[in-house]
Structure 1
Amino acid sequence: MIVGIPKETKNNESRVGMTPAGVLELTHKGHTVYVQSGAGIGSGFTNDVYEKYGAEILDTIEEVYARSEMIVKVKEPTPPEYPLIREGQVVFTYFHFASSEKLTRAMIDSKAICIAYETVEDTDGTLPLLTPMSEVAGRMAIQQGAKYLEKPVKGKGVLLGGVPGVPPGRVLVLGAGTVGIQAAKMAAGLGAHVTILDVDMKRLRYVNDIMPPHVMTQYSSEYNIRKHVRTHDLIVGGVLIKGAKAPKLITRDMLKTMHPGAVIVDVAVDQGGCVETSKPTTHEDPIFIIDDVVHYCVANMPGAVPYTSTLALTNVTLPYVLSLAEKGWEEACSDDMTLQKGLNIVNGEIVYDGLKSVFPEKLEMA
């Protein structure tokens, strides 16, 4: 198969869809790999390294799309890429369709085979291709939250770990999934007081067992959320509903009850956000302020640490890329139910149940 690795077009996205090690695996098996010139620079991989391991370097993104049977990316295609995607072409990347009707419509119109990393699902319900980026984003949420709590960037002026004689900052984590647990771990490591909310009591029991005593667990309800947002300095939104929009757990009216300078890091923003006032931002312009509450809503948080993120992502995507290249998408998905769950749009039709319910009337009428 001919596999193409374009340079990412999303704002400040420096990750790349495949490492030179992945190129070597594919070319050793007789596949052709085209890499757009400069695609790996942000992650520390030069054109020369890719060529050394068997890739052919193409100058433009148009050439990569035109020559490739399968495109392997990191983030969803942006509007300039829409016309480059053609019927029957496999596109394997993070799509997060639920947050963008425009993207969903464009991919339906393209009649491409859209396989979304974020819905590839193991039999035990885990999401193997989302997990490493959720781990990065969860840890980064505390790193960024601590930064934006500083007064020069309009934060409350709180040091999360506190100092002797001064209480530590208070962190509220919504969701005890991968993002939430990693965020709680990082915050606890800094010495912050942490409260983590979830509706799954099994997850809360797990968190209670593995976390230190200053990490408190509580059942997630509107009452408890309203109570805690009034007293916490940093709120991390780590809620995920597979393939669908995140629920709005923090509403606009709650912001007025929060401390001025409190910070919200909405990691769920690429699925629509779990805060009513969230809107996607970029690494170039990461925050905005509503009712004196700082919102950090960067939709590609792991893109800020591309070396770590690219290695972590390609560790888990490469086996699926190899299977798709060896067998073709139909046989690969037929043989592997985990990969089959990644199919979102096929030949102009939505095939993922979670997505069908997001824009049903609008897409049918279009």
Structure 2
Amino acid sequence: MKIGCPTEIKPQEFRVGMTPNAAQEAVAHGHDVLIQSGAGIGSGFSDEDYIAAGAVMAASAQEVFEKADMIVKVKEPQAGERKMLREGQVLFTYLHLAPDRAQTEDLIASGCTAIAYETVTDRNGGLPLLAPMSEVAGKLAPQVGAWTLQKANGGRGVLLGGVPGVGPARVVVIGGGVVGTQAARVAAGMGAEVMVLDRSLPRMSYLDDIYGGAFNTSFASKGNTADWVAQADLVIGAVLVPGAAAPKLITREQLSTMKPGAAIVDVAIDQGGCFETSKATTHQDPIYDVDGIMHYCVANMPGAVARTSTIALGNATMPFMLAIANKGWKKACADDPHLLEGLNVHAGQLTYFAVGKALGIDVTSPQLVIK
């Protein structure tokens, strides 16, 4: 199979879809790898690194899309990239379709087969291709939240860890999954007073058993969430419904109950955000003010630490990429029901039910597609 990897063109996106190690593995399995020249520079990989791995360099994204049987990326294809997709071509990347009708319609119209990293599952019900970036984003969230809280950025001017004689900031993390756990660990490590809200009693028991003393947990009822948010200096939204639009947990009216200059970091923004006032921002212009509350809603947070993120993502995606290349997407999905969960679009059909529900589009069962 010819595997192509273009340069990411989303603003301030420095990651790359294939590492030289992944390219070397694919070549060793007998595949041709085509990398757009300069694609790895933002992650610290030179063209020479890819050439040494056995890849061939392409002068343009158009060349990659024209020649490749499978396109491997990081972020969802932008409008110009979607025009280059073709019938029968496999797209393997993050998609986050539920809040993005334009992308969904373009992928359907292209006739391509689109497999989304974020909906591939594992035998434990986890999301193995989302987890590495969730860990990165979770660990980044208190860091960028602390920066957003600085007075020069419009925040309250509160130091997360406090100093002797001055108490620490209060951090509320909504969601106790991978993102929320990592966010709580780092915030607590910075000296903040941390509360994690979740609706799963077993998950809260787990967090208490493993991290008891580092941070606290509380049940995420509407009333309880509202009370804790009103006390917070920093709120981190870390809620995920796989493949679906994120639920809106905090309304605009609730912002008036928060401390002036408090900060919100919405890590769920890729799925539409979990605050009513969230809108996607970029690393270049990351924060904005709504009713005196500072919002940080960068849609590709892990791109800020591109080298770490690229290597972590490459480690996770490589076995699935090789399975698709070695067997063809249909047999790979038939052999692995967890990879089949990643199938979102095929040959003009939407094949992921949560996306269809969010956008009101008819869905074809992925099991029927592979038959």
Secondary structure at 1:265's aligned position in 2? strand
Aligned match of 2:204? 204
Q: How many residues align?
A: 364
Percent of pairs identical after alignment? 52
The one-letter code matched in structure 2 to 1:150 is Q
Aligned match of 2:64? 64
Q: Distance in 1 between matches of 2:3 and 2:361?
A: 35
Q: How far is 1:362 from its partner?
A: 9.2
Aligned match of 1:7? 7
Mapped contact 1:176–1:203 kept (Cα < 8 A)? yes
Structure 1's unaligned 5+ residue stretches are none
Aligned match of 1:282? 282
Is 1:338 matched with 2:338? yes
Q: How far is 1:199 from its partner?
A: 0.7
Q: Distance in 2 between matches of 1:131 and 1:361?
A: 28
Q: How far is 1:338 from its partner?
A: 1.1
Alpha-carbon displacement from aligned partner over 1:122-159 (angstroms, at most 9, x marks no partner): 12210000000000000000110011111111110011
Alpha-carbon displacement from aligned partner over 1:166-209 (angstroms, at most 9, x marks no partner): 11100000000000000000001011100110111111111111
Secondary structure at 1:218's aligned position in 2? strand
Mapped contact 2:34–2:58 kept (Cα < 8 A)? yes
Q: Distance in 2 between matches of 1:199 and 1:48?
A: 49
Aligned match of 2:184? 184
Mapped contact 2:287–2:295 kept (Cα < 8 A)? yes
Mapped contact 1:105–1:363 kept (Cα < 8 A)? no
* TM-score where L is the length of structure 1: 0.98
Q: Which has the larger displacement, 330-339 or 204-213? A: 204-213
Is 1:320 matched with 2:320? yes
The one-letter code matched in structure 1 to 2:94 is Y
Secondary structure at 2:39's aligned position in 1? coil
Is 1:236 matched with 2:239? no
Q: How big is the alpha-carbon RMSD for the aligned residues of Structure 1 and Structure 2? A: 1.2
Secondary structure at 2:98's aligned position in 1? helix
Aligned match of 1:52? 52
Q: Distance in 1 between matches of 2:16 and 2:322?
A: 17
Aligned match of 2:310? 310
Aligned match of 1:145? 145
Secondary structure at 2:265's aligned position in 1? strand
Q: How far is 1:29 from its partner?
A: 1.4
Q: Distance in 1 between matches of 2:39 and 2:252?
A: 40
Q: Distance in 2 between matches of 1:86 and 1:69?
A: 10
Structure 2's unaligned 5+ residue stretches are 365-371
Aligned match of 2:273? 273
Q: How far is 1:20 from its partner?
A: 0.5
Aligned match of 2:213? 213
Aligned match of 2:125? 125
Aligned match of 1:76? 76
Secondary structure at 1:280's aligned position in 2? coil
Q: How far is 1:308 from its partner?
A: 0.3
Q: Distance in 1 between matches of 2:191 and 2:341?
A: 39
Alignment CA distance shift 1:210-1:363 (3 Å) = closer
Mapped contact 2:350–2:361 kept (Cα < 8 A)? no
Q: Distance in 2 between matches of 1:268 and 1:28?
A: 37
The one-letter code matched in structure 2 to 1:320 is F
Is 1:263 matched with 2:263? yes
Mapped contact 2:119–2:341 kept (Cα < 8 A)? yes
The one-letter code matched in structure 2 to 1:346 is H
Mapped contact 1:176–1:197 kept (Cα < 8 A)? yes
Alpha-carbon displacement from aligned partner over 1:254-276 (angstroms, at most 9, x marks no partner): 10111111000000000010000
The one-letter code matched in structure 1 to 2:303 is G
Mapped contact 1:70–1:92 kept (Cα < 8 A)? yes
Q: Which runs of 4+ in 1 moved over 6 A?
A: none
Q: Distance in 1 between matches of 2:343 and 2:293?
A: 38
Mapped contact 2:350–2:356 kept (Cα < 8 A)? yes
Q: Distance in 2 between matches of 1:100 and 1:201?
A: 32
Mapped contact 2:35–2:58 kept (Cα < 8 A)? yes
Aligned match of 1:158? 158
Aligned match of 2:369? none
Aligned match of 1:109? 109
Q: Distance in 1 between matches of 2:212 and 2:201?
A: 18
Mapped contact 2:350–2:362 kept (Cα < 8 A)? no
Q: Which has the larger displacement, 220-229 or 268-277? A: 220-229
Mapped contact 2:351–2:363 kept (Cα < 8 A)? no
